[in-house]
């Protein structure tokens, strides 16, 4: 038996991906950019084992058996095995044996699954990386992780990562690329305020399909807004300019949720707690006359807060005062 265990962190998009031009290959209608969290925070841990006694491939997600025939899971397995076969044909005998075995995959998220906290990103990045290690496959793996879940390709790298949308129909140029490494902006802090750990009603995949079909705002965003924002965001990150970084992050999150509202029928991911957090952040920044805190919301009500180290304690105190424990269900 051969067994490998790996971990992969969640990434939080500050320029959001929303909408595909190819559903099967998972090719996006716009580029996106994210910050990958540290390995010791929100993460997936996956163990993959290959054994000659396993009669079939199987997967367990958070302790419960899941559907191994899920097309996205099958795409990742097929692509990694294809690369492994290529390696075998170039003379690597160790791989031959394992390629004849079935695999068991066991994956655990240390945070809520399918609650808008990018579990599919960490989950598929971890799956692809673990399988690659099992089969001794190396090289550009973001293209395979992308076929599990679009946002997963960005979790293949640490630090600040862009997913370049690409132009080719076969998706070979739709890849993740590190913009700056993990240690680039050590003062940057990310806090997650969990407004609800419930599974969301409209998943990202289905939600963005409806948006592509019905939202004129999404088309405008992809064609005329995101290209400029990608450039501005990369510059803000390179210069460690929090004012620019924070404002772009909030504006992009707001526009993403505006496209959800522009979708027909509309999709609501934010709830009253999210709206109160947005108000709190803007009041805090207005008080200081500068952007000291920024928020971003994925496809769910949970807030991701970006700030710099000296601001953390004061802001956390304000959140605690605004959402006392007895107000139940709040962060
Ligand atoms: N550890 C994992 N291993 C494999 N697949 C996973 C894992 N975690 C989540 N997934 C898959 O991802 C799905 C959830 O993805 P979905 O996009 O709906 O939510 P999310 O990723 O938590 O939120 P969002 O992408 O909006 O931030 C799960 O139903 C499961 O199929
Ligand atoms: C709002 C988002 O988090 C949407 C993520 O969508 P997914 O990557 O989960 O969607 P699929 O490609 O269909 O699996 C924004 C982002 O992470 O860029």
CA 307, CA 203: separation in Å to the nearest integer? 28
Beta-carbon contacts of 248 under 8 Å, excluding residues fewer than 6 positions away, are: 14, 15, 229, 232, 233, 236
Residues 14 and 128 in one domain: yes
Residues 21 and 164 in one domain: yes
- Which domain CATH number covers 95? 3.30.230.10
Q: Which domain holds residue 12?
A: 1-182
Residues 138 and 243 in one domain: no
- Which domain CATH number covers 328? 3.30.70.890
Q: How many domains does the chain have?
A: 2
Residues 224 and 307 in one domain: yes
Residues 285 and 229 in one domain: yes
Residues 134 and 242 in one domain: no
Residues 314 and 329 in one domain: yes
Residues 39 and 167 in one domain: yes
Residues 207 and 229 in one domain: yes
Residues 98 and 195 in one domain: no
CA 280, CA 136: separation in Å to the nearest integer? 49
Residues 82 and 209 in one domain: no
Kindly provide the ipTM of the predicted complex, given to two decimals: 0.94
CA 15, CA 227: separation in Å to the nearest integer? 10
| Residues lining ligand 2, Cβ inside 6 A | 13, 16-18, 26, 32, 118, 120, 149-151, 204-205, 298-299
Q: What does each of the 331 residues of the chain score in pLDDT, given as a tens digit? A: 899 999 999 999 999 999 999 999 999 999 999 999 987 788 999 999 999 999 999 999 999 999 999 999 999 999 999 999 887 766 666 778 889 999 999 999 998 887 777 899 999 999 999 999 999 998 889 999 999 999 999 999 999 999 999 999 999 999 999 999 999 999 999 999 988 877 778 999 999 999 999 999 999 999 999 999 999 999 999 999 999 999 999 999 999 999 999 999 999 999 999 999 999 999 999 999 999 999 999 999 999 999 999 999 999 999 999 998 765 555 5
Ligand sitting nearest the alpha carbon of 45: 1
| Residues lining ligand 1, Cβ inside 6 A | 44, 61, 107, 109, 113-121, 123-124, 127, 151, 203-204, 298-299
């Amino acid at each position: 038996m051969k067994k490998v265990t790996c971990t992969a962190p969640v990434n939080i998009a500050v320029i959001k991906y929303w909408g595909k031009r190819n559903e099967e290959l998972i090719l996006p209608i716009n580029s996106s950019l994210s910050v990958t969290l540290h390995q010791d925070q929100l993460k997936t841990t996956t163990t993959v084992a290959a054994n000659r006694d396993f009669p079939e491939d199987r997967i367990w997600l958070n302790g419960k058996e899941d559907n191994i025939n899920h097309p996205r899971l099958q795409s990742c397995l097929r692509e990694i095995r294809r690369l492994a076969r290529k390696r075998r044909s170039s003379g690597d005998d160790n791989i031959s044996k394992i390629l004849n075995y079935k695999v068991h995959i066991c994956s655990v998220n240390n945070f809520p699954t399918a609650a808008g906290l990018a579990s599919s990103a960490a989950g598929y990045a971890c799956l692809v990386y673990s399988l690659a290690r099992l089969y001794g496959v190396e090289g550009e793996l973001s293209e395979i992780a992308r076929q599990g879940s679009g946002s997963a390709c960005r979790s293949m790298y640490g630090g600040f990562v862009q997913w370049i949308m690409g132009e080719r129909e076969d998706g070979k140029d739709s890849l993740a690329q590190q913009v700056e490494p993990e240690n680039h902006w050590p003062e940057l802090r990310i806090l997650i305020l969990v407004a609800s750990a419930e599974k969301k009603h409209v998943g990202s995949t289905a939600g963005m399909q409806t948006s592509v079909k019905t939202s004129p705002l999404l088309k405008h965003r992809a064609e005329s807004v995101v290209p400029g924002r990608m450039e501005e965001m990369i510059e803000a990150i390179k210069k460690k300019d929090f004012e620019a970084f924070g404002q772009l992050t909030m504006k992009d999150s707001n526009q993403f949720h505006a496209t959800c509202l522009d979708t027909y029928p509309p999709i609501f991911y934010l709830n009253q707690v999210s709206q109160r957090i947005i108000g709190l952040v803007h009041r805090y920044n207005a008080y200081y006359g500068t952007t000291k805190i920024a928020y971003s919301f994925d496809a769910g009500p949970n807030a991701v807060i970006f700030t710099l180290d000296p601001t953390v304690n004061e802001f956390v105190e304000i959140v605690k005062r605004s959402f006392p424990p007895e107000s139940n269900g709040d962060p």
